[in-house]
A and B are shown apart, each in its own frame.
Chain A
Amino acid sequence: MWGKNVVIVMGCILLAATVNAKEHPGKEQILKNGYHGPKTCEECHPGKAKEFLGTVHWKHASKVDHVDNLDPNEEHGMKNRIYTMCNGNDIVNNLKEVPPNALGKTKFTGCNSCHPGDHASDVGSTGAAAEQAIDCLICHSLKYDFSKRKAVKDSSGKVVMTQDRSTEAAANIGRPTIKNCMACHEAAGGGAMIKRGFSMAKGAEVHVTKGIICVDCHQVKNHKFPTGRDPNNWAHDGIYMTCVGECHTIKPHTDADYNRHTDKIACQSCHIPKTGGAFSKDFTKWEKQGNGFYEPSTLKREVNETAPVYAWYNLTVSNTPKFIGPKGSRTDGKSKIYPFKVFQGKAYYNKKDGKLMSMDFAPPIANGDSLAGVASAAKILGIKDYEPVPGWQTIYFGSNHQVTPKNKALSCANCHALNGVLNFKELGYSVKEVERLTNPELYFEKLLKLQQENE
C-alpha cells in the first residue's frame, strides 16, 4: 500500500512538473500579433469566455441546496450573502471610492475587487462585453504584473478595474499556479490569511512541499472548479472533491487501526491539526488606523496557532441568524467528524425581524461610523423598516487546507488520552463509551512500540 501511494504521489508530482514545464502553444503568434484580451484566447479556445461567465468565479453565486433557510431557486454566494466574517457583499459593498477621511484621504475598496472582470462588466454580467472583460491572464499568466490591476476612475467617473493585458503576460500562460490562485484567495476577509487562515507555502502544506499545486487537486473541468464542503462555501460549480480519488484511497494507511477510523473520521481531523487567521471580529466597532482610515476590530492568530473544534458533519449546513455551521450526528449514518475553525462575529441585527443586517463599508472606513454603513446598505437593498441592534453570530469554517506532514498528524493519544482534542461527550458518546475511548489500553502497546523504534 505504501509503495502504491508513493508511486501515485510521484506520478502527481511528475505530472505537475511536466505540465508546468511545458510551454503553452501559440506563444509565437501572441508575440507577433499582440494580446487583445479574451478574443486572442478564443482564437484557439472558442466558447471559453462564454463558458467562464457561467461559473462561480464570475457569478460569485450559484443555486444552493445544502444550506438551511435559503431559497433553492435563487442564487447565493458572496454576491449577496450576509454573515459576520464579511458583513458586506458584492451588492452593498460594491467597489467604490470611499468618502474622504479626516485627513482628506480616500481610496477604492469593495468586496468585488477580486472579481476577474473590469467592474464595468461586473459580478454575474453576461453578453459580448462581459466576455471581453474577463481577465484571463490573472489566473493563467505566469508573468502577470499585479501593479497593473487596480481600481481607477474612467473618463466618465465610473470606477473600473484595470488589467495587465501586456504581450509579455499573455506570452507566458499556462495552468494557474498557486500564486495565481492565492493572489485573490489569501486576501479574502480583510487581509492576508485572515479568513480561513491557512498558508499554501512550501513547508506549511505537505502537498505544496511535494510540488503539488491548487489545480492538481481542484481539477477544473470547463472552468468549473470542484470544491470541498466547507459549511461557508455555499456557491459551487456543481462538482465536489474529496481527498479520496486519484491520489488517496478510502483506506490509505499502512496501519489497519488508522484505516478503521476513516468511516467516521474525516482525513482533515488528523491531518490538519491547526489553522489560524481571524477568530473574532466586531463590525460595530471600527478601529482607527495610522493612515486615518478605519477597519473592523479583529482578533487574529498566525496560520498555525488555532486548534480546531471537532463536530459531526453530514455535509448539510445549519444557517440561522446566530449560527452557521455543520449539521450532523453520530447516529445519522451520513456524518463524519470534521475539524472546524470557530469564528464569532458581532454585527447589527434588525430588531424588527431578527435578521442579520449587512454593511456598506465605505462610510465606516472613512469615519468609523458603522451605523452609517448599515443605513447605506439598507438603502441599497430597499430596507426601510429596521432598528439595528448589535449581536453575535457563531460560524464554523471548515479546515481543509494546510495539511501537515504525516509525522506531525494527530496520533492515537492526541484523541484518546484524557486530555485529547476530541470531546467525546459533546460528540454524543455515553459516559461508559467515553471511559472506553479514553482508556490507555486502546493505544498503549502500539505507542510504546513506536516510541521504542524511534529511540
Chain B
Amino acid sequence: MKKILSIVIVLALTAFASLAVVTNASAEEFKMTGTISKIELAADGKAATVVLKDTKSEASVTVIVSDELTLDKFKDKRIVEGDEIRTKYDSEGGKNTSKMFKKTAGC
C-alpha cells in the first residue's frame, strides 16, 4: 500500500513539475516602441495599467508596470500620456507584465 502511495506521490509531483515548466515556458517576451494613450495608477500606487499604441502596427497593447522607479515617474509626470516608450514585457495568460519601460530619447 505504502509503495503504491509513494508511486502516486512521485507521479503527482512529476506532473506538477512538468506543468510548472510548461507554464513558465509559456511566458513570452515581447519588445515594442509605442505611444502612451492611457496610464491608470492602482489605488495603492503599487502598479499601473498602461495602454500603448504600437508605433509600427498601431495596435493597442496593455502593459502592467510595477517597478517602483517607473511608478514614481508616472506619479510626478516625468512619464505622461503622449510620451513615446520603449518597453520589454512578458506576456502570459493574456497579461503583459513590464520588464523594462523607458522613454525613447534622452536629450
Contact = CB atoms under 8 A, between A and B. Distances in A.
Interface stretch (B7-15, B19-27, B43-51, B73-81): B73-81
Interface stretch (A109-117, A322-330, A395-403): A109-117
A146 B77 CA distance: 5
Contacts of B54: 290
Given A86-B107, A179-B72, A192-B102, A147 B33 contact: no
A70 B32 CA distance: 43
Interface string A135-162: 0000000011111100000000000000
A382 interface: no
Nearest to A193: B102
Contacts of B32: 290
A187 interface: yes
Contact of B68 (A93, A191, A201, A289): A201
Interface residues of B, number: 21
Interface string A288-301: 01110001000000
* SS of A interface (majority): loop
A183 interface: yes
B84 interface: yes
B81 to A, nearest CB: 9
A289 B104 contact: yes
A34 interface: no
Contact of B107 (A179, A188, A201): A188
Nearest to A186: B106
A190 interface: yes
Given A145-B76, A179-B76, A183-B78, A113 B107 contact: yes
Nearest to A148: B77
B56 A290 contact: yes
A114 B72 CA distance: 19
Interface string A368-407: 0000000000000000000000000000000000000000
Contact of B106 (A146, A192, A201): A192
B69 interface: yes
B106 A189 contact: yes
Contact of A114 (B55, B103, B107): B107
Nearest to B73: A146
A194 interface: yes
A191 B103 contact: yes
Interface string B26-52: 000000111100000000000000000
A216 B68 CA distance: 22
Interface in B81-106: 84, 102-106
B36 to A, nearest CB: 12
A191 B104 contact: yes
Given A144-B76, A146-B77, A179-B72, A187 B33 contact: no
Contacts of A289: 33, 55, 104
Nearest to B67: A201
Given A201-B68, A201-B69, A291-B33, A194 B76 contact: no
A145 B76 CA distance: 6
Interface in A174-204: 179, 183, 187-192, 194, 201
Contact of A290 (B55, B77, B107): B55
A86 B78 CA distance: 23
A432 to B, nearest CB: 48
A183 B76 CA distance: 10
Contacts of B80: 146-147
A146 B69 CA distance: 15
Contacts of A114: 107
Contacts of B68: 201
A419 B32 CA distance: 39
A442 to B, nearest CB: 41
Contacts of B102: 191-192
A188 B103 CA distance: 12
Contacts of B69: 201
B107 A143 contact: no
Contact of A192 (B56, B76, B103): B103
Interface of B: 32-35, 54-56, 68-69, 72, 76-78, 80, 84, 102-107
Given A146-B80, A190-B106, A291-B104, 20 more contacts: A86-B107, A109-B105, A110-B107, A113-B107, A148-B77, A179-B72, A183-B78, A187-B107, A189-B106, A191-B102, A191-B106, A192-B103, A289-B55, A289-B104, A290-B34, A290-B54, A290-B55, A290-B56, A291-B35, A295-B104
28 contacts: A86-B107, A109-B107, A110-B107, A113-B107, A143-B76, A144-B76, A146-B77, A147-B77, A179-B72, A187-B103, A187-B106, A187-B107, A188-B106, A189-B106, A189-B107, A190-B107, A191-B106, A192-B102, A194-B106, A201-B68, A201-B69, A289-B33, A289-B104, A290-B33, A290-B55, A291-B35, A291-B55, A291-B84
